Amino acid sequence: MFDIGFSELVVLGVIGVVVIGPQRLPEVVRTAVITVRKIRRAFSDVRADIERELDLDDMRKILHEADMKAHINQLNQDIMDLDKGARALGDDIKTDLEHAYDGYTPEDGEAEADTGVEPLRDSKTDAPPAAAQPTPEKPPATDTTKD
């Protein structure tokens, strides 16, 4: 942690004996060691708390991602179910249409379905047929040659 070698410890010991004195030196060293242990323990506790919080954050992220994946999978499954339902409905409609036109003949096209709704008619079809319309009559041709 502090990277103190043996020579630095000897220098600190000599300074401690000179400054503090030989009688109080063991007591000061014990107090210093206890203080250093408390500081190390506090740093260790803080580091453990930080690691625990980081692990909790990681777990929250993992759970959130798993929840999102489950939600996405559920949405994909719902979409697939809707697609299957739509395809089945389309197949049913196609089958119904195929059966509706079984045996259809061109003469059936002239017959009107009883839907209760009058079909739209063109102005040409609204007019009576040409044979039924009166045509201006020409005077009969007279024979100009007499016999």
Give the HSE-up count for residue 39: Cα atoms under 13 Å, Cβ half-sphere: 7
CA dist., res. 97 & res. 78, Å (int):
28
User: Quick check: 39 pLDDT over 80?
Assistant: yes
CA dist., res. 88 & res. 95, Å (int):
10
**Cβ neighbourhood burial of 42 (10 Å; 0-12, 13-18, 19+):** exposed
28 within 8 A of 16, measured Cβ to Cβ: yes
**Has this prediction a pTM greater than 0.85?**
no
Q: Dump pLDDT digits (tens) for 43-99.
A: 999 999 888 888 888 888 888 888 899 999 999 999 999 999 999 999 999 888 888
Per-residue model confidence (pLDDT) at position 36: 92
112 within 8 A of 125, measured Cβ to Cβ: no
52 within 8 A of 44, measured Cβ to Cβ: no
Per-residue model confidence (pLDDT) at position 81: 94
Per-residue model confidence (pLDDT) at position 125: 53
- Per DSSP, 129 falls in state P
Q: Dump pLDDT digits (tens) for 83-142.
A: 999 999 999 998 888 887 776 665 655 555 555 556 566 655 555 555 555 555 665 666
